[in-house]
Amino acid sequence: MTEPQLRFRDDEVVSDPAVTVDSFGDQSNATAVRIEPGDDARALLPHLDRLRLIEVNFPAYTDGRGYSAARILREAGYTGELRAVGDVLIDQLSNMKRCGFDSFAPDHPLNEADAKAALDCWPDVYQATTDGRTPIWTKRHG
């Protein structure tokens, strides 16, 4: 497990080791899994009810596959912890949060004040995601 630096959940931090997607199917008691960019997040959908932590690895911040993985999991109703790990930087935080991540374990610790400012940057959003924010489109049309 990678210790999260930022976490937006009230429940207890899951401390189980996260297994790979490949080995997850065989380990019927595993409650934490780590997704790599090439993994298909949909392979986890049959098992969401027993998962408490899903880590999504960003080996390089420029590889955006993890954003789709996160949304797919949330769209399928996953409510456990969704943690971005790896090359997680200040300026990706708000998009990650919009895609459903609720905890962040960056390789290199982030400046907390800059991180907070980045997360608070957007007064509104255009798109609908599962993060609960009301898109501008909906606000315009009450």
Q: Can you give the binding site for another protein, defined by CB under 8 A?
A: 37, 61-65, 67-68, 71, 75, 89-92, 94-96, 98-99, 111, 114, 117-118, 121-130, 135-141
> Considering beta carbons, is residue 39 or 55 the nearer one to another protein?
39
> Considering beta carbons, is residue 17 or 135 the nearer one to another protein?
135
Per-residue DSSP letter, 131? T
* Min separation Cβ 29 and another protein, Å: 29
Rounded to whole angstroms, the Cα distance separating 142 from 137 reads: 9
* Min separation Cβ 92 and another protein, Å: 8
* Min separation Cβ 31 and another protein, Å: 25
> Considering beta carbons, is residue 19 or 125 the nearer one to another protein?
125
Cβ 16 vs Cβ 1: under 8 Å: yes
> Considering beta carbons, is residue 13 or 122 the nearer one to another protein?
122
Rounded to whole angstroms, the Cα distance separating 50 from 94 reads: 28
Cβ-based neighbours of 57, under 8 Å, separated by 6 or more: 34, 35, 36, 37, 66, 85, 86
